[in-house]
Amino acid sequence: MKSFTITLVLIFSACSFSFGQELVYRPINPAFGGDTFNYQWLLSSAEAQNTFTDDEASGDDRSDLERFTENLNSQLLNQISRTLFNQQFGQDGLTEGTFSFGTLFIEIFPSAEGLVINILDTSTGDQSQVIIPN
């Protein structure tokens, strides 16, 4: 019985001198408060596991003829718009007033901020405003 009490005393005294440690959670992901140096490792790990491919990001699959045709169309439309602009406004450029180009209604007037150009598409109701500072 004497050895049992000594053992009990030793156990209780050992328990009173032992210290516990606090458990602390530290997130790994920097998006959730983790260390920012983990970002590159997490990103490279995610990219290595990604098996999906983006078909649209593979590049320009157009032929030279298609690119040439698109470029030619763009230049022709630019020349037509420049001709229409010169016919409507003349060589002097933008002047005050209201103008109509098909379904576009354009109003030009000066203000304290500069020259204001209001553009209204009468077919859709979309409108835009351009301000050219003084």
Asked if residue 59 has pLDDT above 80, the reply is no
Instruction: Give the residue among 134, 94, 87 at the shortest CA–CA distance from 118.
Output: 94
Residue found by looking up tokens 């379904």 in the block: 103
Residue range 89-112, pLDDT digits in tens: 677 777 788 888 788 888 989 999
Residue found by looking up tokens 């203000």 in the block: 111
Asked if residue 74 has pLDDT above 70, the reply is yes
How much is the average pLDDT of 70-86? 85
Lowest mean pLDDT among 7-16, 33-42, 66-75, 76-85: 7-16
pTM, 2 dp: 0.40
DSSP-derived 3-state class of residue 123: coil
**DSSP per position, 18-56:** ----------SSGGGT--GGGHHHHHHHHHHH-----SG
Residue found by looking up tokens 């005294």 in the block: 13
The continuous run of DSSP H or E covering 97 comes out as strand 97-101
The continuous run of DSSP H or E covering 80 comes out as helix 64-89
